[in-house]
Structure 1
Amino acid sequence: MTVTAVDEIAPTTRTEARVLARTEYERLADQLRSLTAQDWRRPTDCPGWDVRAVAGHCVGMLSDFSSYRSMIRRVRAAEKAAARDGGPMVDSMTALQVSEYAPLSVEQLIDRVDEHGPKAARWRTRVPFPLRAMPMKEEVGGRPETWRLGFLLDTILTRDPWMHRVDIARATGHDLVLTADHDGRIVAGVVAEWARRHGRPFELELTGPAGGRFVAGAGDRERLHLDAVEFCRILSERAPGSGLLAQPVPF
């Protein structure tokens, strides 16, 4: 397995971000099509959400970010709900998505992914620079930080359904579709961000189709060896981590 220096992992271009997003939405739709009636009621790693709620959130998120009008409508509603309830805006946003899409049938949910997925992938990567540069307040690992909207559009909105595909696969026991060109690229981006956030030397071997070997820094490196999907589950705080794995990454 080739060893990749973390500082050689190229940033995702807009063109690549569009391809990754479109592929991710296609895989989400295929996964939802494979579920049984019982699968939709199974609990997931997301507190309080079963598979149906996770799917509703995913459909809501991709629909919300498929046009200026839908994005502004959802952000305003979430800000109003957060001000009323006193919680983080993102929590209000996801709760609204789950609630709004709860009345849809399974077939309607999947149709929404098929219909809005390509539109969202295209729109997200065509947003002009002035809007992409807009700052936004978020929280990672309990600490406040400021993102640019472009980071949300190009990266987080693809990592989010990717991780929820993991949640659904774990909940239902179905196989998770993973390939090096798609999932491996997403995981490599996570590795690069994780490395920037903690800034310490390491040797990392991630197993599975989405895995790879990565190295950063010199001297006394911490050596880590684990499954690529489990690595992401830990960094997303779905599973406990220690040492460098205690450094969270947003999904």
Structure 2
Amino acid sequence: MTDLSWLGPAIDVRPLFAKQHAAFIDLLRQLTSDEWLRPTICPGWTVKDVAAHVLDDHIRRLSMHRDGFHAMHPRDAEPFTVYLDRTNEEWVVTARRISPQLLIDLLSTVGEQIARFWPTVDLDALGARVRWAGPGPCPFWLDAARDFSEYWTHHQQICDATGRPGLTDPQYLGPVLDTFLRALPHTMRDVTAPKGTAIEVTVTGLGGGTWSCVRGSEAWKLQHQPFPAPTAQIELSADTTWRLCTRGITPEQAAVRAHVRGDQHLATAALRLVSIMWTPPKG
């Protein structure tokens, strides 16, 4: 049996998909013509481009996972991240011919199917690799949480671009932060340390909490709780944490905003945390 205890306890985000989807469609329906064209933190992508990217995410999930249809694959010798970035950009460029109203209609229909799909999945079964979390197959609970946290992130990026409040209620932000912190053991994978070394990360504010990444005999493991006498302690706001994990700010910018105590080398390594595979275009 595969030991996945290093990931920490399971998260069940399935009840949140329908709520987030409804809020996302409501957000898009409020946008003015000017707001659809506003630039986002994703270089080269407008608000409309980010919304189109979400539609692509939905289509890929349903086609591959629900329907078992695998039509696209990396080219020969093409690294997965390059393949992902290329196909993301190809879709967004093509989707620029879709009107905002039609894009909303498509997102509404396909997003509702996403919300109906996830409750049918056995969360404990092993699924595809979540590449920012580790090298092997992960349980579907993490795959679902990965999807939800990405939808939430793109929702927030559109809110930022248009000056609107995001879904920062703890019912949404709490699971998102918990999902992002699951990347810590993989982030620390190349850092050698004696068994029992621990990095404690505390996220302050609504939806926050404390996580500990502890070095075991062979690898780092995550605990969603404080650790007695940690080797390094990092305190971040919830806003800084999600932006760090999604490449909205650099590790260096996060370090300026963080409160760090103890081993600076370990803290610096932990702040390389990334919980998303998608890389925005460079313009």
Task: Please indicate the TM-score interval, normalised by the length of the shorter structure.
Answer: 0.7 to 0.9
1:97-144 Cα distance to aligned partner (Å, 9 max, x none): 3244322211121222222212112223424689x63544x6549xx8
Structure 1 stretches of 5 or more lacking a match? 1-6
In structure 2, what is the equivalent of residue 3 of structure 1? none
1:48-102 Cα distance to aligned partner (Å, 9 max, x none): 21111111000121133235588655x423x1xx417945332233234324432
In structure 2, what is the equivalent of residue 83 of structure 1? 75
Is 1:12–2:4 an aligned residue pair? no
- Cα distance in structure 2, aligned partners of 1:95 and 1:40: 18
- Cα distance in structure 2, aligned partners of 1:240 and 1:145: 24
Measure how far apart 1:227 and its partner are.
2.6
Measure how far apart 1:234 and its partner are.
0.4
- Cα distance in structure 1, aligned partners of 2:36 and 2:67: 27
Superposition RMSD in Å: 3.3
Is 1:108–2:102 an aligned residue pair? yes
**Aligned ranges for residues 99-178 of structure 1 at < 5 Å?**
99-127=93-121, 133-136=126-129, 139-140=131-132, 145-148=135-138, 150=140, 153-178=143-168
- Cα distance in structure 2, aligned partners of 1:69 and 1:194: 23
Structure number with the higher helix fraction is 1
Structure 2 stretches of 5 or more lacking a match? 1-5, 189-196, 212-224, 256-267, 278-283
- Change in CA separation of 1:83 and 1:70 when aligned onto 2, cut-off 3 Å: farther
In structure 2, what is the equivalent of residue 40 of structure 1? 36
**TM score, norm. by length of structure 2:** 0.68
1:132-164 Cα distance to aligned partner (Å, 9 max, x none): 63544x6549xx834447366412211111111
- Change in CA separation of 1:204 and 1:153 when aligned onto 2, cut-off 3 Å: closer
Is the Cα contact below 8 Å between 1:206 and 1:231 reproduced in 2? no
**Aligned ranges for residues 201-212 of structure 1 at < 5 Å?**
201-207=199-205, 209-212=206-209
Q: Secondary structure at the match of 1:224?
A: strand
Is the Cα contact below 8 Å between 1:18 and 1:122 reproduced in 2? no
Aligned residues: 232
In structure 1, what is the equivalent of residue 24 of structure 2? 28
Q: Secondary structure at the match of 2:150?
A: helix
- Change in CA separation of 1:225 and 1:145 when aligned onto 2, cut-off 3 Å: same
Which structure would you say has the larger RCO, counting Cα contacts within 8 Å and 6 or more residues apart? 1
In structure 2, what is the equivalent of residue 4 of structure 1? none
Is the Cα contact below 8 Å between 1:187 and 1:232 reproduced in 2? yes
- Change in CA separation of 1:202 and 1:68 when aligned onto 2, cut-off 3 Å: closer
- Cα distance in structure 1, aligned partners of 2:156 and 2:132: 20
Q: Which amino acid aligns with 1:180?
A: P
Q: Secondary structure at the match of 2:170?
A: coil
Measure how far apart 1:239 and its partner are.
0.9
